[in-house]
Structure 1
Amino acid sequence: MPLKVLIAGAGLGGLGAAIAMARAGHDVEVFEQSKFMNEVGAAIHIAPNASRILKSWGIDFKDLQAVFCNAIKVYDNTGKLIFVPVKTDELQKKIGSEDEWLLTHRVDLHNTLRKAAANKTYVDRIKVHVASKVVSADAETAEITLGNGTKHKGDLLIGADGVHSKVVIAVAGCLPQSVSTKQNTFRFLVPIDKVLANPITGPFFGNLGFDCQHVFTTRDRRMVIYPCRKGTLLNIVAVHPAENDGLGSESSWLAGGNVDDLLEVYKDFSPILSELCRIAEDLKLWSLATRDPPSKFYKGKTVLIGDAAHPMLPHQGQGGGQSFEDAAALGVLFPADTTLEDIPRRLELYNQLRYTRAVTVMFMSKVNDERRGTMMEDLRRFVPDAELPPDMFPYLWNNYVIQDAQKALAWEQRSTLAQL
């Protein structure tokens, strides 16, 4: 008998979990608070640890309209190249992987997952309810209550309802403590044709090219610039100390930004980058607020994934990737023959497989890469034996969560048989 799986949230992680659990043979109902009428966001990385998962789910990369990322190049604030920390082909050879590093628009990725979830293969397996906000949950019984008062009960509840999760309260007993990073981010998109047509930005960016990430940095602020949507849009992420702009915006994709404020915060950057800021379209200001992770990712018949479990800030570009690793692990650990009696042990296996890695990536994502070591004291409050990854790129990319979950499941099944 397939399990009845409820999922709170139809973001990237929630849809990924729906696909993974349906592929495993279970019946899935997803409850999403929005109506999918006003999807927002900017560009997103899909590093090889995530792209290999999407391929395993049968995702068509053509739908992503992605740009293949060939490198990261770091410059000073004047535009002088400092170093190239990673070249994709070299790192692929080093770790023995041919999986792609993709740059795509978050909306394109979300639409691709929605399309996959609606595929005729899953027509009787996945049901998505929109305008269905989960306001509370019972972790022990896998029951949720919606904003209209209706209740739904499953065999397994997956909390994929983001940083402001209601399901995490059911798992942790309270909402984990909010944490200010004292960082703000301006985000905006500019059509690449507009960049190239501009007499100031055109020659510079035309020479740099649009096949990698360009990072312009000073001691305490940086601009990360990369293409998406088949190379037609340029995505700009500008991270800086929050106390320097005095704006204190809430952590929301919908908070509008002001170009004059953007120019003031980045006044010491190249005039070319200032001009790029002047031609910004749909400028947003996002406060990099987060919260602590719970002490574990499960309780009773309920499990957390994505930002509900480990809110991810953008410094490592792993928010989507870690949610896909979570979803992929669940899809393996809950095969079609899973019984109700198996659920507690399988959730414990999930926690063993995911907690240390996901929480480590979470803390490594709070600050610029060169400052990762400053996060170790905080990380060890949750993972006492945590070690600082010497190089984040191999650590992130060289992860095969599906194979790891298969090994963990095989070990658990052998142990169970040995006890009979």
Structure 2
Amino acid sequence: MALQIAIIGSGLAGLAAARILRVHHEVTVYERSGPDTATGGQGICLFPNGIKILQAMGFDRDRAGAVSCHGYRTFDKDGNLVKDFPVDFKGKYGADTMAMKRSDFRDELLRLATAPSEDLGIQGSPAKMVCDTSVVDVDPDEGLVFFKNGSSVQADVVVGVLLTNWYDRKTADGKIVANGVHSRLRHRIVSSSCQPKKNGMTCYRVAISAESVKEALGYLPEWWDPRTADSRISTLIAGDGSKRMVAAYPLRHYDYMNFSCLFPTRQDKGHVLDSWFADGDRQEMVDTFNDFSYPLRKILDIATEVKVWELQDLDSLPHWNKGRAILIGDAAHAMTPMQGQGSNMAIEDADSFHLLRPGISRDEVKEVLKQIDGIRRPRTARVLRDTRAMAKGISMDEMIANLDFNCGYNGVFEG
């Protein structure tokens, strides 16, 4: 008999989990905002460990506008090439590394979670989406989920992805933004005190169209132009000890470029920047990188949607599960983007729900969730440690070892 699954939050982790679970179980996703909840137009990188799992789900790279990346390049702040580091991701790890707009990626996950089964060539029923519904509490032992309107539901499994922010934040168009780092109900599953920690760096994020850059500059820089970029993830580094750097990678078949602009936080602005989706000050961004090459300065100056985040992560939790409930995604293992592995860990979390096999009984659920915790938590703990080390600077040998550990993962059944 199919299990009743309640997934709280329709972000990347929640929708990926819904796609895995819908094949054999009845899945309902509860979202506090609408089906198009804000995810931002900025970019996201999926490495082979995530892509292999996505391909098994039926992920359509063309729908997501994904661009394959084949290594890294570093430039100085004047735009001069310093180092080229090609990586045959597919040949070495079994799948490409792909960059795409976060919103495009979420749209594709939403399709995989909710499209008719015959359209995807799979068994089971589509996940149900219940929107504009705020979860205010959970009872992990009984599998009860309580809503702001006073109603409740009981499920065999409760998957906590966001579990409601400790504060509400809205975008300019009124969409509620949730952030798993600040999971207000995490204490229902993990009794110990666990608060996110800022790492002293701030990141401005923008996605800019090639069309607008050609209009402003008359050309695309070497690290953007598909004829010269060689599908690399590019990093422009200040090189003056200030720790300022700009990471850039293509989106939507090179029609857009994502820019992640990192620099030491000048002043802690408290909860204003606790959300990864907070609106940023374009002029501050431009001023921070005003000694970089003219093309980059001009590109940042024409940015229309600017988001800013004081980078933060979460210490490894003692456990993710309690009773019938389990945390996944940022609610379980938030980390900074220094390795680009946060979203990949969320996809791996979703894949682990294959262990909730068809025919499993309600009485067996708790033991399976413990098994998932035992598999996933140690791995994400190492990725967190490596990500923190990356922020301090590591050798090329260490970086390659990290790539091998991260990208070599083949799913919950193969490790």
Q: Would you say the 8 A contact 2:201–2:262 is kept in 1?
A: yes
Please say if 1:282 is aligned against 2:305: yes
Q: How does 1:178-327 map to 2 (within 5 A)?
A: 178-199=196-217, 202-204=220-222, 205-206=224-225, 208-209=228-229, 211-218=231-238, 219=241, 220-243=243-266, 249-327=272-350
Q: Would you say the 8 A contact 1:315–1:367 is kept in 2?
A: no
Q: Would you say the 8 A contact 2:25–2:124 is kept in 1?
A: no
One-letter amino acid matched to 1:259? R
One-letter amino acid matched to 1:316? Q
Residues 90-144 of structure 1: CA deviation (Å, up to 9, x unaligned) = x44344x2x1211111111111111111221177452111111212111111111
User: 1:112, 1:203 → 2: CA distance?
Assistant: 30
* Equivalent residue number for residue 105 of structure 1: 101
Distance verdict in 2 for CA 1:208–1:389, change over 3 Å: closer
Residues 15-52 of structure 1: CA deviation (Å, up to 9, x unaligned) = 111111112x1111111111134523211011111111
Q: Would you say the 8 A contact 1:201–1:276 is kept in 2?
A: no
User: 2:277, 2:392 → 1: CA distance?
Assistant: 30
* Equivalent residue number for residue 408 of structure 2: 398
One-letter amino acid matched to 1:27? E
TM-score of the aligned structures, taking structure 2 as reference length: 0.86
Distance verdict in 2 for CA 1:128–1:246, change over 3 Å: closer
User: 2:203, 2:134 → 1: CA distance?
Assistant: 28
Q: The residue matched to 1:365 in structure 2 has which SS?
A: helix
How big is the shift at 1:177? Answer: 2.0
User: 1:118, 1:92 → 2: CA distance?
Assistant: 29
Distance verdict in 2 for CA 1:94–1:55, change over 3 Å: closer
* Equivalent residue number for residue 68 of structure 1: 68
* Equivalent residue number for residue 32 of structure 1: 31
User: 1:210, 1:52 → 2: CA distance?
Assistant: 23
The RMSD of aligned alpha carbons is 2.3
Q: How does 1:363-382 map to 2 (within 5 A)?
A: 363-366=385-388, 368=390, 371=393
Runs (4 or more) in structure 1 with deviation over 4 Å come to 245-249
Q: The residue matched to 2:109 in structure 1 has which SS?
A: helix
User: 1:350, 1:339 → 2: CA distance?
Assistant: 16
Range with bigger deviation, 391-400 or 164-173: 164-173
How big is the shift at 1:178? Answer: 2.6
Q: Would you say the 8 A contact 2:8–2:30 is kept in 1?
A: yes
Residues 179-223 of structure 1: CA deviation (Å, up to 9, x unaligned) = 121111111111112223333763544374372211111341210
Range with bigger deviation, 117-126 or 225-234: 117-126
Please say if 1:157 is aligned against 2:158: yes
Q: Would you say the 8 A contact 1:73–1:215 is kept in 2?
A: yes
Percent sequence identity is: 25
* Equivalent residue number for residue 384 of structure 1: none
Distance verdict in 2 for CA 1:185–1:361, change over 3 Å: same
Q: The residue matched to 2:22 in structure 1 has which SS?
A: helix
Range with bigger deviation, 141-150 or 318-327: 141-150
Q: Would you say the 8 A contact 1:168–1:175 is kept in 2?
A: no
Q: The residue matched to 2:313 in structure 1 has which SS?
A: strand
Distance verdict in 2 for CA 1:372–1:353, change over 3 Å: farther
Q: Which runs of 5+ in 1 are unaligned?
A: 374-387, 406-420
* Equivalent residue number for residue 58 of structure 1: 58
Please say if 1:20 is aligned against 2:20: yes
How big is the shift at 1:391? Answer: 2.0
Q: Would you say the 8 A contact 2:6–2:29 is kept in 1?
A: yes
TM-score of the aligned structures, taking structure 1 as reference length: 0.85
Range with bigger deviation, 310-319 or 166-175: 166-175
Q: Would you say the 8 A contact 2:338–2:387 is kept in 1?
A: yes
One-letter amino acid matched to 1:39? A
Distance verdict in 2 for CA 1:175–1:157, change over 3 Å: farther
One-letter amino acid matched to 1:348? K
Q: Would you say the 8 A contact 1:200–1:272 is kept in 2?
A: no
User: 2:90, 2:36 → 1: CA distance?
Assistant: 38
Q: The residue matched to 1:172 in structure 2 has which SS?
A: coil
How big is the shift at 1:367? Answer: 5.7
* Equivalent residue number for residue 113 of structure 2: 117
Q: The residue matched to 1:313 in structure 2 has which SS?
A: coil
User: Going by fraction, where is helix more abundant, 1 or 2?
Assistant: 1
Which of 354, 376, 394 is the aligned partner of 2:376? 354
How big is the shift at 1:338? Answer: 1.1
